[in-house]
Structure 1
Amino acid sequence: MSAVLVEQPTPEIALVRLNRPEARNALDQETRGQLAEHFDRLGRSGEVRCIVLTGGERCFAAGADLRALAEAGAIEILLRQTHRLWQTIASCPKPIIAAVNGYAWGGGCELAMHADIIVAGEGASFCQPEVKVGIMPGAGGTQRLTRAVGKFQAMKMVLTGLPVSAAEALAMGLASEVVADAAVQARALELARHIAALPPLAIAQIKEVLLAGQDASLETALMLERKAFQLLFASSDQKEGMRAFLDKRPAVFHGH
């Protein structure tokens, strides 16, 4: 059975599901590789407009597979080039919605932070426990986390290795919204359908500029925003959207 399953509830929406329930969706090298392959393909698809990433109803992902790491040496870890697999997800141009039930711990928390929107169930928990086994986060758990929640909340999580609840994650900015556990996937798909009905060029420019601007000066980030704003006036979707608004009718966007 594949470690990662992909379904398309509609042609515009892809549902990527981790499928290692016996290991609480632990992220071994094969699973990371399959994730990278799927996100690369979906990112290049002309049809897919939004991706939902889930681990299922009980567990998002409970971290790295320690059995494959316990006796590894530094050069072995370096040569795995795991960061290249993570980068494929990070550079995916399509909006990604993480639907998080249960544990999002270690690499699972880092995987969720690769998404653009996080929908968490009330029973979900987020954690960077690497310090408890003598290492530290290695896939964004110190950097993406700090950018998401700020220095003091991030330091508390990575220095103690203690989990935070879904409610705490929402309050600190680590989740977009919290819903009942049974409603997580349905809510993520509802958001995906909403996004998929919007103009794809505008969605892609918004994601690209927002992420690029985070680490730029305000002046540079505003320039990126301004150029992308201007560029969208060359699109048919801009003409359709504004005409539809003025005509008081639903807009139909084609992505050009």
Structure 2
Amino acid sequence: MVETEPTGIEVTVADRIMTIRLNREAKRNAITYYMYRELVDLLHVAERSEEISCVLFASTGTIFTAGHDVSGFAQGLEIAYDEKPSFLFMKALVDFPKPVAAALNGNAVGIGATMLFHCDLVYGVPEARIVFPFADMGLIPEFASSLLLPRLAGHRRAMAILLHERGCDMNTAVDLGLVNEAVPRSGLEPRALQVLRGIAALSPDAVVMTKKLLKAEERTAIHAAIRHEAESFHHLLQSPFVRNRLAAIKERISRD
């Protein structure tokens, strides 16, 4: 095993599958800018390696990720929106040519939810929720979720999920097609790995071409949506409403 401490990420490669595990349980697996940079590097390594056919995102503990580490929002104000490590991670995952799966061991919050739109296979424990907290923070959804969620759910259901319910449970996620299957915790990663091993045994060229063809029609629209969302997100970060909400979140985290 190659362990990339202190980034909060562990990496293993077996059976032609790279498992990228968020390992920052004390911080609810929140993703820092340092971690985003590492994720981008790992995706580039997996893309170039002839020994890796698939990637699996997983996490330690009982939450997939709490999303973007709140400390990064303040850092991000000093960085152009299209140079932020989180933006570069979005681009890297959208353009990654090989199959990507996610194993949700618990709630997927914020970017942990929106990244699922760009995973080819998703499995989750029945008790997990897909959480879109953006409205509560005075922000907008990102990672092209404003484009892709309405395509899955329709406009009215997407509005309810984003602005009223701020997420959905696992049954709804499966019903929408955002998650392939709900799996008991003990069988979660074995199920994801079983599927990926089957894919890894296929012709690598045929697998990559299949994914490329399936995504070809929407690729340009997704990149445009990500860029437009990121620019708007960056603008909203500077508003008094968002600054107050982020300060309250930081205070609550410090008390916890």
Report the TM-score when normalising by structure 1: 0.77
Structure of higher RCO (CA pairs closer than 8 Å, 6+ residues apart): 2
* Change over 3 Å in CA distance of 1:38–1:72 after alignment to 2: closer
Q: Which residue of 2 is the match for residue 4 of structure 1?
A: 9
2: CA distance between counterparts of 1:71 and 1:39? Answer: 24
Following TM superposition, by how much is the alpha carbon of 1:102 offset from its aligned partner in structure 2, in angstroms?
0.7
Deviations 1:219-254 (A, max 9, x none): xxxxxxxxxxxxxxxxxxxxxxxxxxxxxxxxxxxx
Aligned length: 215
- List runs of 5+ in structure 2 lacking aligned partners: 221-256
2: CA distance between counterparts of 1:71 and 1:206? Answer: 39
Q: Which residue of 2 is the match for residue 76 of structure 1?
A: 79
Following TM superposition, by how much is the alpha carbon of 1:96 offset from its aligned partner in structure 2, in angstroms?
0.4
Following TM superposition, by how much is the alpha carbon of 1:215 offset from its aligned partner in structure 2, in angstroms?
6.0
Asked if residue 131 in structure 1 is aligned to residue 131 in structure 2, the reply is: no
Q: Which residue of 2 is the match for residue 22 of structure 1?
A: 26
Following TM superposition, by how much is the alpha carbon of 1:57 offset from its aligned partner in structure 2, in angstroms?
4.7
Q: Which residue of 2 is the match for residue 154 of structure 1?
A: 158
Does the 8 A contact of 2:17 with 2:54 survive in 1? yes
1: CA distance between counterparts of 2:165 and 2:110? Answer: 9
2: CA distance between counterparts of 1:71 and 1:90? Answer: 24
SS of 2:142's equivalent? coil
Deviations 1:165-196 (A, max 9, x none): 11111012111111112211110000011101
Q: 2:182 aligns with which of 178, 181, 185?
A: 178
Asked if residue 65 in structure 1 is aligned to residue 69 in structure 2, the reply is: yes
SS of 1:76's equivalent? coil
* Change over 3 Å in CA distance of 1:152–1:49 after alignment to 2: same
* Change over 3 Å in CA distance of 1:193–1:71 after alignment to 2: closer
SS of 1:159's equivalent? helix
Instruction: For 1:7, give the aligned amino acid.
Output: T
SS of 1:97's equivalent? strand
Does the 8 A contact of 1:132 with 1:161 survive in 2? no
1: CA distance between counterparts of 2:202 and 2:82? Answer: 41
Deviations 1:5-53 (A, max 9, x none): 110122x111111111111111221111111110111011111111111
2: CA distance between counterparts of 1:93 and 1:80? Answer: 22
Instruction: For 2:70, give the aligned amino acid.
Output: L
Asked if residue 32 in structure 1 is aligned to residue 36 in structure 2, the reply is: yes
Asked if residue 94 in structure 1 is aligned to residue 98 in structure 2, the reply is: yes
Identity between Structure 1 and Structure 2 (%): 28
Report the TM-score when normalising by structure 2: 0.77
Does the 8 A contact of 1:109 with 1:141 survive in 2? no
SS of 2:64's equivalent? coil
SS of 2:55's equivalent? strand
2: CA distance between counterparts of 1:145 and 1:160? Answer: 15
CA radius of gyration, larger in: 1
Q: Which residue of 2 is the match for residue 239 of structure 1?
A: none
Superposition CA RMSD, Å: 2.1
Does the 8 A contact of 1:119 with 1:178 survive in 2? yes
1: CA distance between counterparts of 2:75 and 2:103? Answer: 33
Q: Which residue of 2 is the match for residue 145 of structure 1?
A: 149
Higher mean alpha-carbon deviation, 166-175 vs 140-149, is at 140-149
Does the 8 A contact of 1:101 with 1:121 survive in 2? yes
Q: Which residue of 2 is the match for residue 42 of structure 1?
A: 46
- List runs of 5+ in structure 1 lacking aligned partners: 217-256
1: CA distance between counterparts of 2:166 and 2:107? Answer: 12
Q: 2:207 aligns with which of 203, 209, 229?
A: 203
